[in-house]
Chain A
Amino acid sequence: MKAATNLQDLPTKKSSSGRAWKTLKNQKYLWMMSIPFVIWVFVFSYLPLWGWTMAFQKYKPAKGFFEQDWVGFDHFKTLFADETFFLALRNTLVMSGMGLVAGFIFPITFAILLNEVRLGFFKRFAQTISYLPHFVSWVVAAGIVTKMLSGDNGLINDMLLGLGFIETPIQFMAQGHLFWGIVTLSDVWKETGWNAIIYLAAIAGIGPELYEAARVDGASRLRQVWHITLPGIRPTIIVLLIMSIGNLLNIGFEKQFLLGNNLVTDYSQVLDLYSLKYGLGMGRYSFGTAINIFNSVISVILLFTINGIFKRTTKESLL
């Protein structure tokens, strides 16, 4: 990411057009190699934006573009008048937020701990085991989670019963207020190992001479982590953080769809599920598009805000 921006910065900085032309010529292979990807991004990310016009029409599949009825902001009005929408928005934000916090604390801690392990074999073993669940699809993972938490011979309940903490099995999946926690924890279980990989790579990039110097100065291992490892991976953390905040509303719906049930809908309904059920599922193409526009606009605002904040405070930024 960094390298690419630098290359493109070069010609503009020198401002003389002849010079820019020369650089362009020098880098012609790089340019040519990037063309397919530019086209790819254009075709798959920008062309579909044309479909946004649907949100302002009473879209019917059979009609051509010019035959559609234009209704202005009607669909947005319906959207903002719907209580379910705000419920879905709240659930999305809360689960996203919880996922975001857990999704940073756990992998970073795990990566640091793993890095401190001296035993090479154990380190590799632990790493492999921890990222295996990432490759299990949510359908299977949700099955495992519900089975574990089941009141009918579920592992967790059997354990609690055996230890005498409870007398009757707890119906974990039936309680709305536990749902957010269950989703977040299953996400932690599934993704911690995988997400730790990038931090491990970043840690590996820190020069060993820093640690040696610190040891000479008498720093303990905790001190080394605090003063060298963490600052060393700060740019990585910030870039990843900014990107995840841009995706705050796009948390998908697999987890909520697969783990949820009718007893917990007040906590499990998320925006993507809402747009699927109340948009496409009912043939309300325009309404569904309106929800997605709302999603995208909020995401862009979030992305720029957080990027701006980081730019000011830490001088690290994406854009």
Chain B
Amino acid sequence: MMSSKRSSKTKASAWLLVSTLMLSMLAGCGGNNAANTGNTTDTNTNTANSGTNTEKEDLTPVTFSFFSADPSPNWTGMQDETGKVITEKTGVTLDAEFAVGDPAQKVALIASSGEYPDLISAKADISKMVDAGAMVDLTELIDKYAPNIKKVLGEDNLKRARYSNEDKAIYAIPTYSAVDQQYFNAGGGFELQHRAVKEAGYPPIKTVKDYENVIKSYLDKHPTDENGNKNIGLTLNADDWMMYITVTNPAFTTTGSPDDGEYAIDVDTQEVTYHFRRPEEKEYFRWLNHMNDIGLLDPESFVQKTDQYKSKIATGRVIGLIDQDWSYGDGEKALKTAGKFDQGYGHYPVTLSEEYKETSFWPTGFMAGNGVGISTDCEDPIRAIKFLDYLASDEGQVLLNWGIEGKQYNVENGKRVIPEDVNNRIVNDATNFAKETGIGLYNLLSVHYGDGVKDSTDNYYTTKFPEQISSQFNAVEKETLAAYKVDTWRGLFPKEDEFKVKPWGAAWNIPVPGESEIVVLDNKLKDITWKRIPEAILSKPAEFDKIWDAYMADLEKADVEKAEDLREELVKERVKLWTE
């Protein structure tokens, strides 16, 4: 049609069409370029400024991009009250991105893209960034520009932040562990609803049998809730990595071995065993198998997703859990909001039998490792380290933990006090409170003191100290705690000094070099374990031994011994790095 009839009108419109198409394509590419150049000039001017302005603290606004391997659902882009103060004091705004789903994949993508965020908190996956040469050695920067970081960590802990024996650079300041942390409350162990222990007459809950009896006797009397829906004895969450938390980790905490990821390590000889190969753990899983057999284990345990698990807890029908409070907390919060306090949970140090000690609080010493580092793409590492240093200062730490004086806390007679109405919001309206005030959102950005450490004004740095924790328990919780004659759940668990400090921290915290065979071996073992453990638990008791033997055989076929040996090398390296 176009070729046959060449009126100037069609021609013009055709040209128009073609040129619009071309233009729109160019615009597509151009948009990106413009944005990029905008960025670079921005940071360039900043470097120029900081160069000329070394005397006084440089507060010209600067934006650092930041990636964190942990999600932060309440992040508001530093538009909360704490965030605004941080920006005011340092000039820094963070353009943050938080990993969704498996951070390992995201970090791998960042490492291969060649475009790194200025600040990176990649946890154990930092090795991928280091292998890519993307991280800046912070040793000198900390020495010159970060007096507060140095003060908080001290010589010994700073030494622990070094990467490896071959590469003694500091690539991340250890922001995940708190210095001199004392634990005043427990959030793990085994959980039971307050109404169930009350009805059982608050018996001692030490072994899995005690735990089972409480659930069983409660379910015998109350098989259904008031609407006729079945009450559930014990439910587990096996959705992805939650498998570790509620299914596999309790196998070692109940049998006297500390948390070293998927391995059990002898504290004296540092001999490494894949922890499922310990005979004690077989008995733990046999108990779960028994729970399933007598109908106390929720048959959906290995099928449900995390949201289903939480909503099940929120119905109040689940009597027992084996989980951590940060994991099932959302479900319990719903119960508390509905005023069903007796369907909330207490934490009990359950073990397989009396001879074991519950190991949740086995001391690891200061665990350097996970934390924030600066990438080679950062235009102004000095500003960045100064920013992190501000957060580590006394002023910064109080701000991050307590908020703003006069708003989230008051000083009365030299004591920091949280007013009643604020405390109420912390307990009952936690999400909105965090979003508005930003309290709790910035703690993992820099080094900090742990609970129980006091500053120069004789106040605690954090808001978790005995009096404060007690004031946040509700009446039912206080009733249960009083019945067991303790102030917090921590009181039920073995003391830290009953254990020997592990000189390697924790094995899960040792970065694995990207090229190591361990990565693949571990994943193979994990695939086998995650398949076999549910199978063994759900099998008929008579078949349990057969499946367990097959599982052990599978592990050996997948070179479990090699994985153990390689891991042992890493642990020994770590001990050497930390104790020399």
Contacts and interface: CB of A to CB of B under 8 A. Distances in A.
Interface of A: 26-27, 29-30, 32-33, 36, 39-40, 60-62, 84, 143, 146-147, 150-153, 169, 171, 173-174, 261-263, 265-266, 276-278, 280-285
Complex A-B, nearest 4 residue pairs according to Cβ-Cβ distance, in ascending order:
A26-B3, A62-B133, A61-B132, A61-B112
B520 A283 contact: no
A34 to B, nearest CB: 10
B531 A262 contact: yes
Interface string B454-485: 00000000000000000000000000000000
A282 B109 contact: no
B104 A281 contact: yes
Interface size class of B (residues with CB under 8 A): 35 or more
Contacts of B22: 36
Interface stretch (B158-166, B297-305, B391-399, B560-568): B297-305
Contacts of A26: 3
A260 B18 CA distance: 48
B530 A152 contact: no
A77 to B, nearest CB: 14
B312 A152 contact: yes
B112 A27 contact: no
Interface of A is mostly: helix
A27 B304 CA distance: 60
B134 A261 contact: no
B300 A152 contact: yes
A132 to B, nearest CB: 23
A40 B17 CA distance: 17
A280 B14 CA distance: 46
Interface in B221-237: 229-230, 232
Given A146-B308, A153-B229, A33 B18 contact: yes
A162 to B, nearest CB: 14
Given A61-B114, A174-B303, A39 B25 contact: yes
A281 B533 CA distance: 23
Contacts of A84: 524, 527
A283 B17 contact: no
B514 interface: yes
Nearest to A171: B299
Nearest to B10: A29
Contacts of B239: 261
Nearest to A258: B305
A85 to B, nearest CB: 12
B230 to A, nearest CB: 8
A27 B4 CA distance: 10
Contacts of B25: 36, 39-40
A278 B132 contact: no
Contacts, number: 109
B547 to A, nearest CB: 13
B18 A281 contact: no
Contacts of A60: 131-132
Nearest to B530: A262
B303 A261 contact: yes
A36 to B, nearest CB: 5
Nearest to A37: B21
B302 A146 contact: no
B183 to A, nearest CB: 31
Given A262-B530, A262-B531, A265-B530, A62 B132 contact: yes
A36 B300 CA distance: 53
Contact of B109 (A151, A173, A280, A284): A280
B238 A261 contact: yes
B501 interface: no
A244 B475 CA distance: 62
B535 interface: yes
A171 B102 contact: no
Contacts of B111: 61, 283
Contacts of B308: 146-147, 150
Interface string B299-340: 110111101100010000000000000000000000000000
17 contacts: A27-B3, A61-B112, A146-B303, A150-B304, A151-B299, A151-B300, A151-B303, A174-B302, A261-B303, A262-B243, A262-B533, A263-B303, A280-B105, A280-B109, A281-B523, A283-B108, A283-B111
A40 B22 CA distance: 11
Nearest to B235: A152
Contact of A29 (B14, B299, B304, B527): B14
B108 A281 contact: yes
A26 B2 CA distance: 8
A284 B133 CA distance: 16
Q: Which of A27, A84, A265, A283 has the most CB of B within 10 A?
A: A283
Interface in B257-316: 298-300, 302-305, 307-308, 312
A152 B243 CA distance: 20
Contacts of A152: 230, 232, 298, 300, 312
Contacts of B381: none
Contacts of B523: 277-278, 281-282
B128 interface: yes
Contact of A171 (B300, B533, B535): B300
Contacts of A284: 519-520
A171 B131 contact: no
Contact of B134 (A30, A62, A281, A283): A62
